[in-house]
Amino acid sequence: MSDLKTSPAANEFRSDTFTTPTPSMLTAMANASFGDDVYQEDDITKKFQSEIARITGMEDALFMLSGTMGNQIGVRVHLNQPPHSVLCDYRAHVYAEEGAGLAVLSQAMVTPVHPANGIYVTLEDVKKWVIMGEDIHTAPTKVISLELTIGGVLTPLQEIEKISEFAHANDIKVHCDGARLWNASAASGHSMAEYCKHFDTVSMCVSKGLGAPVGGVLASSKSNIKRARWLRKQLGGGIRQAGVLTAPALVALEEVWPTMKNTHLKAKRLEKDLAEIGVVPQIPVDTNFFFIDAKRSKIDVGILLEQCKKFDVKLQDERIALHHQISDEAIENLKAAIAETVNITKNLEPGYVSQVPSGGYGSSSKMNEYS
Ligand SMILES: *Cc1c(COP(=O)(O)O)cnc(C)c1O
């Protein structure tokens, strides 16, 4: 059985999705309530959802089978009759990594925005790209979706507030892909509710940094959640004995969330240690991710991946993901693998071409279009 120290995820830097359920999560699953949640008769699930509503300050919440399901349903509750479009960052998961869900499920066009600052979308970007008015050539913006964190980076609360005010003044809804809103809150010190009050719908993951085995959750108004429950059923997401999934999610909130600050400190320390050997990130290291800027760090990613195998750490591209089950030993091994890569790369003849292509996993390894 896994525990915090010996989890198979201890050397897993590919993503924070690789975390494994802790013993207390497994115990909670065994002792869950087993009511039918399609009939809304499961006590633990109701408790989980009201706990999320409390934490986020939203009226209601609904458990989702995944963050993707929460995003797609969260956006769709706002969209009724095409033509309409969704404005979001060009790297946004809801657009780039959800199998064209917005096109298929919401018949929505997308306006993918390249933030002028290269890091996060601002009100200036929104004003530049938003589609408004009654020009019959267009698909008006009906939803603005902000991803928090995006690439592990914090968007300032003030910027979120400005975008939300602008959107609401123009009859546009605002959705938050808050898969890692937990991280944003832990890192910035702003409460979940301080973020959520600017959004009409907020989707969160419980199986990323929070470490629960399955799921996500959507928070919104009572009427939006009522609609979301209907759409979730349509997608096959009506869960019968949902308590086995929501019980470990409740444990994750109590047990893992408080450790997130510490995970972020480890990322900061890693940033400092890597800077000493000339390895720099593509974008700021605000939370649990370090995206290696391979070009500026003069690192061959193919060699890096080979070295990671040698040093017994798992990496798939330029993104280093930290989470609560990463061991200190694994961090030391990762640093050794990177240091070795720097040495090897230094001695390569000019014109050498990496045998292993860099990236290749969606867009998640490239958070900066210039790297
Ligand atoms: C992982 C992720 C999702 C989707 O979550 P799944 O549970 O994997 O479907 C949504 N948004 C962001 C930003 C994510 O990183």
Question: How sure is the predictor about 371, in pLDDT bands with cuts at 50, 70 and 90?
Answer: low
Question: Whose C-alpha lies nearest to ligand 1, atom 6?
Answer: 67
Residue 352 CA to ligand 1 centre (angstroms): 36
Q: What is residue 348's predicted lDDT score, i.e. its pLDDT?
A: 84
**Pocket lining: 16 vs ligand 1, CB cutoff 6 Å:** no
113-141 pLDDT, tens digit each: 999 999 999 999 999 999 999 999 999 99
**Pocket lining: 67 vs ligand 1, CB cutoff 6 Å:** yes
346 vs 231: CA distance, rounded Å: 54
Question: How sure is the predictor about 221, in pLDDT bands with cuts at 50, 70 and 90?
Answer: very high
Confidence check: pLDDT of 345 > 70 = yes
Residue 305 CA to ligand 1 centre (angstroms): 24
Q: What is residue 370's predicted lDDT score, i.e. its pLDDT?
A: 60
Q: What is residue 355's predicted lDDT score, i.e. its pLDDT?
A: 59
**Pocket lining: 149 vs ligand 1, CB cutoff 6 Å:** no
Q: What is residue 1's predicted lDDT score, i.e. its pLDDT?
A: 42
Q: What is residue 346's predicted lDDT score, i.e. its pLDDT?
A: 85
Question: Whose C-alpha lies nearest to ligand 1, atom 5?
Answer: 67
Q: What is residue 5's predicted lDDT score, i.e. its pLDDT?
A: 52
Q: What is residue 77's predicted lDDT score, i.e. its pLDDT?
A: 98
For residue 147, the ligand 1 atom closest to its alpha carbon is 13
**Pocket lining: 205 vs ligand 1, CB cutoff 6 Å:** yes
**Pocket lining: 75 vs ligand 1, CB cutoff 6 Å:** no
Q: What is residue 357's predicted lDDT score, i.e. its pLDDT?
A: 53
**Pocket lining: 177 vs ligand 1, CB cutoff 6 Å:** yes
Pocket test for ligand 1, best of 15, 68, 73, 153 (most atoms within 8 A of CB): 68
Question: How sure is the predictor about 352, in pLDDT bands with cuts at 50, 70 and 90?
Answer: confident
17-72 pLDDT, tens digit each: 999 999 999 999 999 999 999 999 999 999 999 999 999 999 999 999 999 999 99
Question: How sure is the predictor about 2, in pLDDT bands with cuts at 50, 70 and 90?
Answer: very low
Question: Whose C-alpha lies nearest to ligand 1, atom 15?
Answer: 179
**Pocket lining: 147 vs ligand 1, CB cutoff 6 Å:** yes
Q: What is residue 349's predicted lDDT score, i.e. its pLDDT?
A: 76
236-268 pLDDT, tens digit each: 999 999 999 999 999 999 999 999 999 999 999
3-state secondary structure 205-221: ECCCCCCCCCCEEEEEC
Question: Whose C-alpha lies nearest to ligand 1, atom 14?
Answer: 179
State what percent of residues in the chain have pLDDT above 70.
Answer: 94
**Pocket lining: 358 vs ligand 1, CB cutoff 6 Å:** no
276-334 pLDDT, tens digit each: 999 999 999 999 999 999 999 999 999 999 999 999 999 999 999 999 999 999 999 99
Residue 207 CA to ligand 1 centre (angstroms): 9
3-state secondary structure the chain: CCCCCCCHHHHECCCHHHCCCCHHHHHHHHCCCCCCHHHCCCHHHHHHHHHHHHHHCCCEEEEECCHHHHHHHHHHCCCCCCCCEEEEECCCHHHHCCCCHHHHHHCCEEEEECCCCCCCCCHHHHHHHCCCCCCCCCCCEEEEEEECCECCECCCHHHHHHHHHHHHHCCCEEEEEECCHHHHHHHHCCCHHHHHCCCCEEEEECCCCCCCCCCEEEEECHHHHHHHHHHHHHCCCCCCCCHHHHHHHHHHHHHCHHHHHHHHHHHHHHHHHHHCCCCCECCCCCCCEEEECHHHHCCCHHHHHHHHHHCCCECCCCEEECCCCCCHHHHHHHHHHHHHHHHHHHCCCCCCCCCCCCCCCCCCCCCCCCC
Q: What is residue 360's predicted lDDT score, i.e. its pLDDT?
A: 46
Q: What is residue 212's predicted lDDT score, i.e. its pLDDT?
A: 97
Q: What is residue 4's predicted lDDT score, i.e. its pLDDT?
A: 46
Pocket test for ligand 1, best of 17, 75, 86, 97 (most atoms within 8 A of CB): 97
Confidence check: pLDDT of 166 > 50 = yes
State what percent of residues in the chain have pLDDT above 90.
Answer: 91
